[in-house]
A and B are shown apart, each in its own frame.
Chain A
């Protein structure tokens, strides 16, 4: 009986701790409104975070839907924006573009290279880009390209062969 009571007390207190942690995690957004969160559109990011120079591709694959289905952005600790694009028919996220002031910023949750097959350095419109090709968690082909554009690090990830991806990336270089 004592042991059962112990398990019950432990589970209840741990549940309270988890709720408390969630609240503690939410508190900073009261004092700092520019922390990472979802935005409805890019204009909201531009005005809310004073981030005028968001780079968007001028070439866009026809099977993808514009505008981005999800936009995540932050002003602190450094400026960053993530745009997700869905397939027109399947609604599956097929392209993710991130732009950030930090080299370590990672937005590879929806499209993730689990198995890397090839990594090459590439010159694209005079930029040194790194192209990675491999497979995602469900065995689908994925590719990623990243480079530095001015003060920002740009990552473009796609659930497609690199050909389309490079065309998107090329259209983002001014």
Chain B
């Protein structure tokens, strides 16, 4: 197959330019976050989502604005012409463009199996009856924990499981699931902090903004930069819910202790574990998960200054820089 025909076509140009536009957007966003020292997760998330949403619209909008953008003269004066890199031949006459297509394919698989499939499964399962070993959460400890929380309380269910766990099911009617193991492990105050965090997730999931962002994100299923940036923004969602939970309970240190107890106090896998131990991928996932939890604990323990630097001004400047640079990326 002649790859140059694909890269020359409208879909090929769209896919390639969307990839490079998201890479530039990601770099500019990173520069903005560092330059203005933006640490508030809510603001960071808005910036990170720029790299997710911008490339969806950039190519068609630039084309409408300037029909001569795909002419040979424009390409010659461009800041970055993707066609030049796509034409570079690797050994065995494999064009670099073929490697990029392979990357898009692999990213699509990761997106489908790790993001879309679980969401579809969750959506299909939400209409059915809950798991078998589940009972209503009318335990006195739960009632006591919920009592003083100034928020709308979702339905609580208890799973008969000795492993400590808590999660929320979002959707039209959000609910929180927690295990008997968790009830045994946490004090009432810690349980309140954990429930406040999950209540924050449920209330955030009701906002149409996040649903729209996820639907837009689906359009960029092939884009590895969008995959990474979207995942980073999801991590920030945890920090946003930590802040909401801390403001609901008024006790950030209790939430920090709860996180430590739930996720870090369990024995970490020993180094140099052999054949039957976890795979390298699992170890890396575990390591990155622990790092993420530790950073959340640090924020709660050390406190977090609210950013007051004119959020919309900085956002507008960043967006303008992204749009201006990407105009010259073809």
Residue ranges of A at the interface with B (Cβ–Cβ < 8 Å): 2-3, 6-7, 9-10, 13-14, 17-18, 21-22, 24-25, 28-29, 31-32, 35-36, 72, 76-78, 80, 82, 98, 102, 104-110, 112
Assuming the A-B contacts A14-B28, A36-B75, A102-B4, are A21 and B80 also in contact, with contact meaning beta carbons closer than 8 angstroms in the complex?
yes
Report Cα–Cα, A24/B97, bound state, in Å. 16
**What chain B residues lie within 8 Å of A72 (beta carbons)?**
72, 76
Residue ranges of B at the interface with A (Cβ–Cβ < 8 Å): 3-5, 7-9, 24, 27-28, 31-32, 34-37, 68, 70-76, 78-81, 83-89, 95, 97, 309-310, 314, 317-318, 321, 325, 329
Contact B35 A102 (CB under 8 A): no
Contact A10 B35 (CB under 8 A): yes
7 cross-chain pairs, A with B, having the tightest CB-CB distances, nearest first: A109-B73, A77-B4, A9-B35, A10-B35, A6-B36, A76-B87, A13-B31
Chain B residue at minimum C-beta to C-beta distance from A98: B72
**What chain A residues lie within 8 Å of B8 (beta carbons)?**
77-78, 102, 104-105
**What chain A residues lie within 8 Å of B85 (beta carbons)?**
28
**What chain B residues lie within 8 Å of A13 (beta carbons)?**
31, 34-35
**What chain B residues lie within 8 Å of A98 (beta carbons)?**
72
Contact A32 B35 (CB under 8 A): no
Contact A28 B35 (CB under 8 A): no
Contact A24 B80 (CB under 8 A): yes
Report Cα–Cα, A102/B7, bound state, in Å. 11
Contact A110 B73 (CB under 8 A): yes
Contact A31 B88 (CB under 8 A): yes
Smallest beta-carbon distance B244→chain A, Å = 27
Query: Which listed residue (B7, B34, B86, B310) contacts A9, Cβ 8 A?
Result: B34
Contact A6 B71 (CB under 8 A): no
Smallest beta-carbon distance A85→chain B, Å = 15
**What chain A residues lie within 8 Å of B7 (beta carbons)?**
77
Query: Which listed residue (A25, A77, A110) contacts B80, Cβ 8 A?
Result: A25
Report Cα–Cα, A2/B308, bound state, in Å. 11
**What chain A residues lie within 8 Å of B24 (beta carbons)?**
17, 21
Report Cα–Cα, A31/B88, bound state, in Å. 7
Chain A residue at minimum C-beta to C-beta distance from B86: A77
Contact B36 A10 (CB under 8 A): yes
Contact A10 B72 (CB under 8 A): no
Chain B residue at minimum C-beta to C-beta distance from A108: B71
Sampled A-B contacts (11; CB under 8 Å): A6-B309, A14-B28, A17-B27, A21-B325, A25-B81, A28-B84, A28-B88, A31-B88, A32-B89, A35-B87, A77-B97
Report Cα–Cα, A2/B32, bound state, in Å. 13
Assuming the A-B contacts A6-B314, A25-B81, A104-B9, are A112 and B68 also in contact, with contact meaning beta carbons closer than 8 angstroms in the complex?
yes
Contact B84 A25 (CB under 8 A): yes
Chain B residue at minimum C-beta to C-beta distance from A75: B87
Query: Which listed residue (B3, B31, B79) contacts A10, Cβ 8 A?
Result: B31
**What chain B residues lie within 8 Å of A17 (beta carbons)?**
24, 27-28, 31, 325
Query: Which listed residue (A2, A18, A112) contacts B325, Cβ 8 A?
Result: A18
Q: A3-B36, A36-B84, A77-B3 are in contact. List 18 more A-B contacts (CB 8 A).
A: A10-B31, A10-B32, A10-B317, A10-B321, A13-B34, A17-B325, A18-B79, A25-B78, A28-B85, A32-B88, A35-B87, A72-B72, A77-B87, A78-B4, A104-B70, A106-B68, A107-B72, A109-B73
Smallest beta-carbon distance B330→chain A, Å = 10
**What chain B residues lie within 8 Å of A105 (beta carbons)?**
8, 72
Report Cα–Cα, A14/B87, bound state, in Å. 27
Central interface residue in A7, A22, A31, A104, by most chain B CB within 10 Å: A104
Assuming the A-B contacts A10-B31, A110-B73, are A35 and B84 also in contact, with contact meaning beta carbons closer than 8 angstroms in the complex?
yes
Chain A residue at minimum C-beta to C-beta distance from B12: A104
**What chain B residues lie within 8 Å of A25 (beta carbons)?**
78-81, 84
Query: Which listed residue (A36, A77, A82, A109) contacts B68, Cβ 8 A?
Result: A109
Contact B73 A107 (CB under 8 A): yes
Smallest beta-carbon distance A133→chain B, Å = 18
Contact A28 B87 (CB under 8 A): yes
**What chain A residues lie within 8 Å of B80 (beta carbons)?**
21-22, 24-25
Central interface residue in B3, B7, B78, B79, by most chain A CB within 10 Å: B79
